[in-house]
Amino acid sequence: MNIEQKFDTLKNLLREMGSAVVAFSGGVDSTFLLRVACDVLGPDKVVALTATSPTYPQFEFEEACRLAAAFGVRQVVEESNELEIPGFAQNDRRRCYHCKSELFSICRDKARELGCKEILDGSNADDLQDFRPGRDAAKELQVRSPLLEAGLSKDEIRQLSRRLGLPTAEKQAFACLSSRFPYGTEITAERLTQVDRCETFLRHQGFRNYRVRYHGETARIEVAPPEIPRMLDAALREAIVAEFKAAGFTYVSLDLQGYRTGSMNEVTP
């Protein structure tokens, strides 16, 4: 199918659902899904559920709230602390499963309470190309992924987001802060804060695609290949090193391969 056929398929899928709770983070995929669901079903038939947690940066939460308000959809905010979920903080390869199981359980309870027929998440066709244990949680809790069902890729979602005038069309792909830690490295509130502080600094310096990967005393910075030359500017480099050391890192390194999703899946413990 071409992109137009996929878009029509998505709208038909949503139309058949009647009403839904959308797991809404404010990222590229969930924002697009929420907007189309509102357009097709009407905002009164859709609920945006956003879960706050230590792994979810405050600026992302604030942006999600602005978007939900702009769409005129009801937003439900639930507190969720993944660090309290058995197995999550230990950070094994099923970490994402534990997290999504918690989130989708919250969505399921809210859907029952509000009388919504379906629970939706923003997984897309590209997610099938990476290790995504959270998909198992979605299947177990009968969460549907209409973007994936329609065969839409991330690039196609960005194209359609531009057509709809969504501010997230060019936004970098977001993953919760726990994805910055190698499997087997314990995730703590202090370490999450450390990584969040460093990524916030990079964002304020104007970087568009970035990650700060935690490796004990070392921070490994990933930025998009076209942005790597900026990292070699003497003044900026010194400022980054100073900020990262103030955050608690001893060493600061630049990954010459550049930013890519799922880099922590490249090494299996």
CATH number at residue 46: 3.40.50.620
Residue 129 in this model has a pLDDT that exceeds 90: no
Distance in angstroms (rounded) separating the CA atoms of residues 211 and 222: 5
* Residue where one domain finishes, among candidates 136, 163, 190: 163
* Residue where one domain finishes, among candidates 129, 163, 197: 163
Same domain, 156 and 202: no
Instruction: List the CATH number of the domain containing 193.
Output: 3.30.70
pTM for the full predicted model: 0.89
pLDDT of 205-258, one tens digit each? 999 999 999 999 999 999 999 999 999 999 999 999 999 999 999 999 999 999
Question: 128 vs 131, 153, 154, CA distance in Å?
Answer: 8, 10, 12
Q: Which residue has the higher pLDDT, 85 or 51?
A: 51
Site of tokens 């057509």:
163
Instruction: Supply the range of the domain harboring residue 107.
Output: 3-163
Asked if residue 200 is part of any domain, the answer here is yes
DSSP secondary-structure letter at 165? T
Same domain, 95 and 214: no
Amino acid code (one letter) for 264: M
Q: How many domains does the chain have?
A: 2
Same domain, 137 and 256: no
Residue 134 in this model has a pLDDT that exceeds 90: no
pLDDT of 268 reads 56
Give the list of residues 6+ apart from residue 159 with CB closer than 8 angstroms, or none: 3
Same domain, 225 and 193: yes
pLDDT of 73 reads 97
Distance in angstroms (rounded) separating the CA atoms of residues 217 and 175: 22
Q: How much is the mean pLDDT over the chain?
A: 93
pLDDT of 15-55, one tens digit each? 999 999 999 999 999 999 999 999 999 999 999 999 998 99
Q: Which residues of 50-65 are buried (b: 16+ CB within 10 A; e: fewer)?
A: bbebbbbbeebbebbb
Same domain, 7 and 66: yes
Asked if residue 170 is part of any domain, the answer here is no
